[in-house]
């Protein structure tokens, strides 16, 4: 398998900074914002965005974590992942502006599941989507509001986001299966 780095640590830091500013700009401040990170790597990314906004706006934005395992649409064909994390959303999300955070946007199916789960938790004012990488190949009418990097990929490639808190290194790579 061949790996190619498409974002370095510095690229990731700049992308997160830019997205943080875009979020504040588009929402005209931080009023009612809540970050929702998607397990696994969306959660630390959501915390980073919240920290970055705290640095320049001096506002604490609540961060929640969402596990969509029980809402997936391929449960009956693929089965359940071994481990399920409890969803933990800190505040009542009714009337809030939610920023859903994930690492890679691909088919859009996990986002569909996340939207279903969020709607079960309450009726937010709006839901926006922030991703570090958009690799294309959507199978549902879903798009991201904030994108760190658009990466054209082929279907038999993998995009892997590595975060220091989880993987020990900080980079985004494309993995090509050798055959």
Partner 1 sequence: MTVSSGHRKQNREIEKRSGTTGNAVVQTEWHHRHLLDTDILSREEIELVFNHATAMEEILGREIKKVPTLRSKTIVNMFFEASTRTRASFDLAAKALSADVINITASGSSVEKGESLLDTVLTIQSLGADVIIMRHQCSGAPYFVARNVKCSVINAGDGWHAHPTQALLDMFTIHKHKNGLKGLKIVIVGDILHSRVARSNIHGLAAMGARVIACGPPTLMPVAGAFPAVKFEYDLDRAIQGCDVVMPLRLQLERQQGGLFPSTREYSRMYQVTPERLSRANPGAIVLHPGPMNEGIEISPEVAHGPQSVVEEQVANGVAVRMALLTLVLLGTSYGSFGK
Residues binding partner 1 (CB under 8 A): 39-41, 67, 69-71, 75-88, 103-104, 106-107, 116-117, 120-122, 135, 155-162, 166-167, 173, 175, 177
Nearer to partner 1, 24 or 163 (CB): 163
Nearer to partner 1, 2 or 70 (CB): 70
Interatomic CA distance for residues 171 and 11, integer angstroms: 9
Tokens of 72: 């997936």
* Minimum CB–partner distance for residue 152 and partner 1 (Å): 14
Nearer to partner 1, 24 or 68 (CB): 68
* Minimum CB–partner distance for residue 110 and partner 1 (Å): 9
Tokens of 111: 């986002």
CA distances from 82 to 3, 78, 112, 127, 163 (A): 27, 12, 21, 29, 22
Nearer to partner 1, 59 or 80 (CB): 80
Q: 158 pairs with which residues across the strands?
A: 175
Which residues does 110 contact at the CB level (< 8 Å), separation at least 6? 38, 68, 72, 102
* Minimum CB–partner distance for residue 56 and partner 1 (Å): 28
* Minimum CB–partner distance for residue 39 and partner 1 (Å): 8
């Amino acid at each position: 398998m061949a790996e190619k780095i498409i974002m370095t640590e510095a690229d990731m830091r700049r992308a997160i900074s830019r997205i943080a500013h875009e979020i504040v700009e588009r929402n005209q401040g931080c009023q009612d914002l809540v970050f929702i990170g998607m397990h696994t790597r969306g959660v630390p990314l959501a915390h980073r965005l919240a920290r970055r906004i705290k640095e320049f706006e001096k506002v604490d934005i609540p961060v929640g974590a969402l596990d969509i395992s029980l809402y997936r649409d391929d449960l009956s064909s693929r089965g359940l992942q071994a481990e399920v994390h409890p969803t933990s959303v800190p505040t009542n999300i009714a009337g809030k502006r939610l920023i859903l955070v994930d690492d890679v946007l691909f088919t859009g199916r996990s986002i569909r599941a996340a939207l279903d789960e969020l709607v079960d938790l309450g009726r937010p004012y709006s839901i926006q989507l922030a991703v570090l990488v958009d690799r294309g190949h959507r199978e549902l009418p879903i798009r991201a509001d904030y994108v760190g990097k658009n990466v054209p990929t082929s279907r038999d490639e993998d995009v892997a986001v590595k975060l220091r808190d989880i993987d020990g290194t900080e980079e985004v790579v494309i993995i090509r299966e050798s055959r």
